[in-house]
Amino acid sequence: MSIWNHIFLSGEFRDRETLLSGLTLEQVTLRPPGASHSIFEELWHAATIQRCIVEQDKDLEAELRGGTRYPTTEPEAEQQWHDLVTNFLSGAQAVVELTQDSARLAEELEPELTMAEELSCLAVHNAYHLGKIVALRQSIGAWPPKTSTEQP
């Protein structure tokens, strides 16, 4: 297993798929007292930043800098949550695949900022928001996620 896979998908804490599993629409849209964002909003933000970096999407980057750092509407169907989880996990897998290209990692995105450095920053960013998601899950009584071997 590569360090990048470890950082983005499976290591240091619960694997990302499990961490994001077993939640209902009601749970992901709930904003407990004192919380600045819901689980859905936290993951939307992390997934959007991740997409911006992986795809090097300058239009999306400009939109984010313009103030759209969190979603402006709540999801109306649970499938929207599942789609967001899929997009986040696919984006994390895309990061791992991107890291297999040493020339791409060495690419300078800005003066004194390589793709490898940008991905390191993204790993910290993702860990921060995933930690917030765990804390939100704990505060609403949805932690730990049930594993496939546990009874409901």
Predicted pLDDT at 20:
97
Q: Domain residues for 92?
A: 3-139
Q: Is residue 120 one of the residues assigned to a domain?
A: yes
pLDDT profile of the chain (152 residues), mean per 10? 90 93 97 96 97 90 84 94 98 96 94 95 97 97 77 46
Model-level pTM?
0.91
pLDDT in tens, 42-61: 999 999 999 999 998 888 88
CATH code (residue 134): 1.20.120.450
DSSP string for 55-120: HT-HHHHHHHHTT--S-SS--SSHHHHHHHHHHHHHHHHHHHHHTT-HHHHH-EEETTEEHHHHHH
Q: Is residue 51 one of the residues assigned to a domain?
A: yes
CA–CA gap between residue 9 and residue 20 (Å, rounded)? 12
Predicted pLDDT at 10:
93
